[in-house]
Structure 1
Amino acid sequence: MGILGFLRGPREVLFGPGQRYALGTVTASLGSRALVCTDARFGGTDEFAELVRLIEGAGVHVTVFAEVLPDVPVHQVAECAALAHRVRPDVVVGMGGGSCLDLAKAVAVVIAHGGQASDYYGELRVPGPVVPVVALPTTAGTGSEVTPVAVLTDPGRVSKVGISSPHLVPHTAVCDPELTLGCPPSLTASAGADAFSHAVESFTAVRRTATPELATERVFVGKNALTDTYALLGVRLVAENLRRVVEAPGDAEAREAMMLGATAGGFALGSAGTAAAHALQYPVGALTHTPHGVGVGALLPYVMEYNRPARVPELAAVAVAMGANPDESPEVLADEAIERSAALLRSVGIPSTLAEIGLPSDRLRWTAEQAFQATRLVENNPRPLDVDALERIVRAAYSGDRRSLREEARPQAATTTTAGVR
């Protein structure tokens, strides 16, 4: 099989301490009227006021929507779009965590193409370019500043929904790690777990046959030579700095490394995609109302264990990126990757089981059934999934018994290999 390299991203990424001071110039280059989307917490800070002044100082009229809620309820897209229709922005600026950036991206779609957010659920349903988005993250986690997806919560659906399109990639990402210094330890840990999961899942995702049509048929094409580079960078930076930044929130060097790791993970997932841990988190999050990063972090070691028979070389590379001895055998290193990942997540307070998160014991099968409906994520998993397989992962993650997945996998390893040759 020839080498496949595929990568989507913003036209510009400005990364580093102090890069926020370029926001005025960046925004003014895209128009004279800006709609700024943020949440009440960040919207009440001195940093936010300063950022608005920078934009206004560049000659741009600013309208602020400072009501973004966690997990973006879909009705907020309509509310913000109604405001946008009155002020007719040339550019939408998202400032804050992933929810703020996702709302900015979804609103940019509705401003450009009309209708409502639900018209664009799924992949490749945005018909053309959207109002340009400038994304300025204040957490190191989602990578939304460089991705082609906006995730929303719709009360008419059990799990979260996404709008996925190359047109959703922000025009410019302004990533200033100094803006994460005020992020509390619990949010830092949850966001960091999300970033780590993005890197691991995109690096271990399915590898599809390289065809000229692949990038036009799918938003997320699977692992490839370019996303692998970003994924391993994300693994290394988060592994080296997550615990450090949780224990010492004022550590500027660690904050910088974490934001770079999150952005790298965003580049990886934005083209390769994520898989089973994210599919399962959606129903888990819906039932337990826990942060997204907590759910995927709790699930990730179990998904890695399930996928181990199909991804030993990749897991070995993950272990090396986390500091393991590269002279060990791939099999030993694959085990070490799972152990190191579980230990890292546990060290920053991510629960080790779904029982700790509060998943009801009578909803395990239901969780698997709901996760299976996330077709894009299920199909991106490197080892085939059905509802029974997803339930095995859920039950192992509920009880904390990763060994059950290892024992279950052994007789299937040969079958998987044979199927791959057909």
Structure 2
Amino acid sequence: MKFRNFKMVDYVIFGRGAFNQLGEIIAPHRKGDAPMIFFIDYHFEGNPAFAARVPLQGKDKIVYIDVTDEPKTKVVDALRDQLVAEFGTVSGIIGVGGGSVMDMAKAVSLMMNNPGSSADYQGWDLVKFPGVYKVGIPTISGTGAEVSRTCVLTGPTRKLGMNSDFTPFDQIVLDPELVRGVNKDQMFYTAMDCYIHCIESLQGTYLNAFSQSYGEKALVLCQEIFLQKEKWDDDADDKLMMASYAGGMSIAYSQVGVAHAVSYGLAYLLGTKHGIGNCIVFDKLEEFYPEGVKEFKQMVKKHNITIPQGITKGLSNADFDKMIDVSLGMAPLWENALGKDWKTIMTRERLRKLYEQL
């Protein structure tokens, strides 16, 4: 048997107020007068108090990242070109925001040191050189992007990550204070990304003791937060941030499954955001994850969340074919969910019927 040699995040700091140590953390990684570039979710753009907490020095720069759409390869390439033209090189990229911002930070970091377009590296182990120093600081919990070895991008022909050992962050800062004030629905959709990570990992064919230990812990935390707690409090924020981390670790050493494979098609064609897309799909997956979907529906009801329905109504045959092509391109996800014979189980016709339910 051949075992995976697993690349993890190098350094992790966790705790309320940990963000205040960012200047101290990144100081040893500054290279001459090359700046640190801070990619910050554009929702913070009108928040001068938050901007004042960013430890800027010299030519350091804040770039606000519009997350209306999920990260696109052409945007990654344009940001890389802009930074090269302005500075030549940079000391590092710090991503502050949700999964889209952290994916953008990882991607631009890699593209600072790899030639061509980021679209050239969509796939597994295609990246040839380490990126510049990169830090991930989540401001919403659930995606697991802080520990993932991928940065998911929508390219000219597909939605697929730059999956490589060079992709994980060099440092993550987990500060539960940063998630205060997140919209309730958005918080839920993103948190369910973590819950779905756990279900797909724990029921997948790639499951092993490493991924199982993290997945089980993350699942218990999600159940406590969304089914047992009667009110949201600081403890819930702390535990959800750790659930996101553990859920990300679980899939990093195994894989996700049907919900993610199907939601990639929605994202590519319709621009559906990752968290809500997973919820829309998972809501219809009783056939594959009966207990998980039952519990998910209980969480939706308890927290009075609306899951959009009928989003594929009226699509053309060409539209369905494109979603099916994108989804079936996620071979490791399908193999984890259905086994090595997944191609005979998940036919195009069966996947078309599933998309028609959404």
Q: Fold-level match, TM-score > 0.5?
A: yes
DSSP 3-state at the match of 1:136: strand
Q: Which residue of 1 aligns with 2:268?
A: 286
Q: Which residue of 1 aligns with 2:296?
A: 341
Whether the 8 Å CA contact 1:148–1:165 is kept in 2: the answer is yes
**CA 1:240–1:124 in structure 2 vs 1: closer, same or farther (change >3 Å)?**
same
Mapped to 2, the partners of 1:196 and 1:278 lie a distance apart of: 12
Dislocated runs of 4+, deviation >6 Å: none
Q: Which residue of 2 aligns with 1:256?
A: 238
Q: Which residue of 2 aligns with 1:228?
A: 212
**CA 1:253–1:206 in structure 2 vs 1: closer, same or farther (change >3 Å)?**
same
Aligned pair partner of 1:35 in 27, 34, 37: 37
Mapped to 2, the partners of 1:274 and 1:267 lie a distance apart of: 11
1:141-152 matches, within 5 Å, as 141-152=142-153
Aligned pair partner of 2:331 in 352, 362, 375: 375
1:5-16 matches, within 5 Å, as 7-16=6-15
TM value normalised by structure 2: 0.86
Q: Which residue of 1 aligns with 2:342?
A: 385
How much does 1:170 deviate? Answer: 0.1
How much does 1:394 deviate? Answer: 6.0
How much does 1:342 deviate? Answer: 3.1
Q: State which drifts further: 41-50 or 186-195.
A: 41-50
Structure 2 residue ranges without an equivalent (≥5): none
**CA 1:192–1:375 in structure 2 vs 1: closer, same or farther (change >3 Å)?**
same
Question: Does 2:66 align with 1:65?
Answer: no
Q: Which residue of 2 aligns with 1:45?
A: 47
**Which residue identity does 1:343 align to in structure 2?**
Q
Mapped to 1, the partners of 2:43 and 2:228 lie a distance apart of: 25
How much does 1:120 deviate? Answer: 1.0
1:324-339 matches, within 5 Å, as 336-339=291-294
Q: Which residue of 2 aligns with 1:118?
A: 119
DSSP 3-state at the match of 1:144: coil
Whether the 8 Å CA contact 2:122–2:162 is kept in 1: the answer is yes
Whether the 8 Å CA contact 1:151–1:160 is kept in 2: the answer is yes
Q: State which drifts further: 117-126 or 79-88.
A: 79-88
Q: Answer with 1 or 2: which has the greater Rg.
A: 1
Structure 1 residue ranges without an equivalent (≥5): 208-222, 309-334, 401-422
Q: Which residue of 2 aligns with 1:358?
A: 311
**CA 1:336–1:281 in structure 2 vs 1: closer, same or farther (change >3 Å)?**
closer
Mapped to 1, the partners of 2:58 and 2:127 lie a distance apart of: 28
**Which residue identity does 2:237 align to in structure 1?**
R
Mapped to 1, the partners of 2:296 and 2:18 lie a distance apart of: 32
Whether the 8 Å CA contact 2:310–2:357 is kept in 1: the answer is no
Aligned pair partner of 2:253 in 260, 271, 286: 271
Q: Percent identity?
A: 24
Bigger helix fraction = 1
Question: Does 2:353 align with 1:395?
Answer: yes
Whether the 8 Å CA contact 1:351–1:357 is kept in 2: the answer is no
How much does 1:227 deviate? Answer: 1.5
How much does 1:11 deviate? Answer: 0.9
Mapped to 2, the partners of 1:295 and 1:186 lie a distance apart of: 13
DSSP 3-state at the match of 1:305: coil
DSSP 3-state at the match of 1:112: coil
**Which residue identity does 2:243 align to in structure 1?**
G
**CA 1:343–1:301 in structure 2 vs 1: closer, same or farther (change >3 Å)?**
same
**Which residue identity does 1:265 align to in structure 2?**
G
**CA 1:244–1:23 in structure 2 vs 1: closer, same or farther (change >3 Å)?**
farther
**CA 1:61–1:228 in structure 2 vs 1: closer, same or farther (change >3 Å)?**
farther
**Which residue identity does 1:77 align to in structure 2?**
V
**Which residue identity does 2:330 align to in structure 1?**
A
**Which residue identity does 2:299 align to in structure 1?**
L
Whether the 8 Å CA contact 1:5–1:225 is kept in 2: the answer is no
1:67-216 matches, within 5 Å, as 67-69=65-67, 70-85=69-84, 86-87=86-87, 88-154=89-155, 156-157=156-157, 159-207=158-206
Alignment RMSD (CA, Å): 2.8
Aligned pair partner of 1:242 in 226, 237, 256: 226
